[in-house]
Amino acid sequence: MSHNRLSIGSTPRALAATLCAWLLFTSANATADLTVSYINVERQASFASERLYAGKTLASRSSELGFKRGGEIAQVLVDIGDVVQKDQVLARLDSRTLASNLNQAEANTALAQANLSAAKAEAQLAAKTEQRFRTLLEQGNISKQIYDEAQLSVQTKQAQEQVAQANVKRALAATSADKIALAEAAIKAPFDGIIQSRYMDEGTQILGGTPALKLIELGPIKAHIGVPSRSLASLTIGDMYNLSWDGKVQPARLVAISPEVDPSTRTLNAVFKISDGIIPIGAVVELLLEQRVQAPGFWLPISALTASDRGLWAVYLVNAENIIERRLVEVIHNEASRAYVRGLLSDRDRVVNSGVQRIVPGQAVLPLRAEENIAERTNKSLNERVKKGLNDPVTESLNHPVTESLNHPVKKSLNHPVKKSLNHPVKKSLNHPVTESANEQANAGR
């Protein structure tokens, strides 16, 4: 009878003790097993800094074409987008007046040439007359006066011939000028290209030098990119570099670097030749230039940094005892997702790379390499904990038939009113003498 009383009274107490021990065990493990992700850092002697420099693509040659002389536009023979050949006529002025002037100049040239012919003939006649008079003078048949007159006549006719020659040259020059003026009444393509713009139409009165068309050369284009003088060591004329535009990468050859710094941008103009035409003229392109900076330090992800005092940053590392320590670092260079730092770090230090807001110095954690699978690591940890607890009396009680009832739908709810009543005064009276007496009477009745 006493044996029955002891077993009936001890069963609730065993259940309560087992439940409390299980809750304390799981709570302690949950606190001690805060998992953090870490990486092993390695010291670097230098770092590569990537810089983007923007520029613009230009045609190899581009010309604003207009008429040298003013007038009325008679014809515009091309339009935007037309491909033209060198020396092709693109537009013309009304040239009727110029053509008339040319005809007049040609007539004046013909008249001057005729006058020259007459002057030559008269000069030849005067020269022969002077020879005959010289002979007669030697024979004494004429006077000295007559001979002098013949000699002066030769000189006069020779001067008239020279005047006629000058008139011919002047007429020829006027004719050539009129021909040039007539030729300048038309715009011709200076090179093979494509019409970029058309500013004027037929009937427009245009002044000399005013652009009427814009022509750009077909073929390779050039990119002009401003780079700082400190980046010259990374550029070599003749080498190939990658230019990016609209998500596309285009190789280009560096052909020249301007010797003078632009006073407005404080940069040097680097000229790249682009052979393939996937980038349009006038597009903004970017040059990604890598520069090597000699400075010892460590690469860390941005998520591993936390702000500190006096412009410094801090990182958390896991020591050999899996305890969190805080170290100060200085950011030397940063990129989109990582930073190059120097500070109180050593090779192979385990630096927490994410979730730094969840930890504090001195906290015990369960470290996990960033490359490992978190699910596999968690399952492995649970399996090791179960194996270690097989010989623990408290752990073994988890397999007790009464304890297995924790999986019952009602028992599973720790917030259920029945569970909450474990601390109720009535439950606490399990060890009360009155309760034990009632159990003895019940056993005696049986």
- In this predicted structure, what is the pLDDT of residue 372? 46
Tell me the Cα Rg of the chain.
53
Closest CA to 344 of 321, 369, 314, 367: 314
Q: CB atoms < 10 A from the CB of 55, how many?
A: 22
- In this predicted structure, what is the pLDDT of residue 56? 93
N-to-C CA span, the chain: 10
Are the C-beta atoms of residues 366 and 321 closer than 8 Å to each other?
no
For residues 16 and 397, give the distance between their C-alpha atoms in angstroms, rounded to a whole number: 12
Closest CA to 13 of 396, 397, 444, 442: 397
* DSSP one-letter string for 373-427: -HHHHHHHHHHHHHHHTTT-HHHHGGGSHHHHGGGSHHHH-TTSHHHHGGGSHHH
CB neighbour list of residue 62: distance below 8 Å, 6 or more residues apart:
196, 214, 215, 216, 217
Q: Hey, what are 206's tokens?
A: 């245009």
Read off the pTM.
0.51
Q: Hey, what are 115's tokens?
A: 């006058």
Q: CB atoms < 10 A from the CB of 331, how many?
A: 17
CATH number (3.40.50.2300, 2.40.420.20, 3.40.50.300, 2.60.40.10) of 35-45+296-374 reads 2.40.420.20
**Nearest 5°: phi and psi at 315?**
-130, 160
- In this predicted structure, what is the pLDDT of residue 20? 60
Question: Residue 406 corresponds to which amino acid?
Answer: L
**Domain 51-61+220-293 CATH superfamily:** Efflux pump adaptor protein, beta barrel domain (2.40.30.170)
- In this predicted structure, what is the pLDDT of residue 335? 84
Q: pLDDT (tens digit, 9 = 90+) per residue, 188-222? A: 999 999 999 999 999 999 999 999 999 999 888 89
Residue 328's DSSP bridge partners are 314
- In this predicted structure, what is the pLDDT of residue 303? 93
Per-residue pLDDT of the chain (446 residues; tens, 9 = 90+): 444 443 444 456 667 666 665 555 454 444 456 899 999 999 999 988 878 899 999 988 999 999 998 999 999 999 999 999 999 999 999 989 989 999 999 999 999 999 999 999 998 998 998 888 888 888 888 888 888 888 899 899 899 999 999 999 999 999 999 999 998 899 999 999 999 999 999 999 999 999 999 999 988 889 999 998 888 888 999 999 989 998 888 899 999 999 999 888 889 999 999 987 678 888 999 998 887 888 999 999 999 999 988 778 999 999 999 999 999 999 998 888 899 999 989 999 999 999 899 999 999 999 999 864 443 444 454 455 545 544 443 333 334 433 333 334 333 333 443 333 334 433 333 344 333 443 444 344 43
What CATH class does 64-89+189-218 carry?
Answer: mainly beta
Q: What's the residue count for the chain? A: 446
